[in-house]
Amino acid sequence: MLLRPAAVATLLFALTAVPASAGSVSGRLYMTARAQAADSAGRTGALKQLQAGVLDAVVSIDPAPAKLEKKLNHAAAHSRVTPSIDQAHMQFNPRVMVVAAGDSVRFTNLDTLYHNVFSVSTACHFDVGRMRPGSADTVRFDRPGVINLHCELHPEMIGYVVVLPNRVFTRPDSLGTFVLPKLPRGHYTLHAWHPRGGAVARDFDVPRHGATHLSLTF
């Protein structure tokens, strides 16, 4: 059956209007070049040792696809759960918290003594004052950046709030493996940050079809 010109035009428009399918993006973050070499050699035992501390890393991308960011923002708005950092056993737990700009974090004192959480970081300068045992306070983080946390009463206590410009982020497992939300075809930059390793980044492309596997080394 022959199609009329108008029908052909309509069909072509429909085909070109179909959005690119989302692609899975995963990879591994290495604490050192030695860890990457151990993984390449299949030395799993050595990899586990060399990846010690990788759980403190944060993996993110930019730019964030508009539809995905809208979906993640919607989910965050309806969760009604404020991320919390506990002060317990003279430590910040978790040691590293990651949030999106505009989010708040609740600080709770679970110890039997006073604490005083503060930061002089450029992205957010704050001081919650002395917190008695069992008390809590909330701080809003509006600007992206790494916020170093300290306790005025206990200098050995150190923590971090990593504030990102979007919600497309994840955390690696104990071997450094990470999985990002599915992304539409396009060009992105992968970012990773760690208290000890600092910041690293690499560009990558998500194809129309197929999975993308990435590696990044501090």
The domain of 61 spans: 22-65+177-218
Helix (H) or strand (E) holding 79: helix 66-79
Is 117 inside any structural domain?
A: yes
The pLDDT assigned to 12 comes to 34
Which mean pLDDT values do the consecutive 10-residue runs of the chain (218 residues) have? 38 35 89 98 97 98 96 91 96 98 98 98 97 98 98 97 98 98 96 97 94 96
Residue 83: is the preceding peptide bond cis (ω within 30°)? no
The pLDDT assigned to 152 comes to 96
| CATH number of the CATH domain containing 106 | 2.60.40.420
Residue 7's alpha-carbon distances to 12, 15, 17, 82, in angstroms, are 9, 12, 15, 53
143 and 184 belong to one structural domain: no
The pLDDT assigned to 18 comes to 33
pTM: 0.87
